[in-house]
Amino acid sequence: MTLYEGESSDVWEDGMEEVEQIVLSDYKTKEEMHALMVEKGFQLKSPDEIEAMKLKKQKEAAEEEEKKTKRREENRIRREESRRKKEEEKKIKEEEKEKEDAVVGEQTKEAHAMKKEEL
């Protein structure tokens, strides 16, 4: 167990400083562990406080999952729009190519017709 000095329970927050490291496996009984916790200033939380913490964590987890789901859906929609756009561009290019081929074909027919007239 690592003890940190500061007000926050978030050990990664700025200003938190490691004070002491304790090897918990050195404590063999529940009573020894409890005495250590009391000595280090830990306080037992009431069942209501524990329940409130659990509910808060569940709510945070649900919100995070909702955010992830929303991001996945937004990404899916973007991919689908991109796919549709590419298909539309491909279709437009194909139609332009067909028109171009038709014009070239018509010009070729006209050129052949003119050669026949010359002969």
Token pair, residue 99, equals 């028109």
pTM equals 0.47
pLDDT in tens, 72-115: 999 999 999 999 999 999 999 999 999 888 888 888 878 887 77
Q: How many CB atoms lie within 10 A of CB 3?
A: 14
CB 6 within 8 A of CB 16: yes
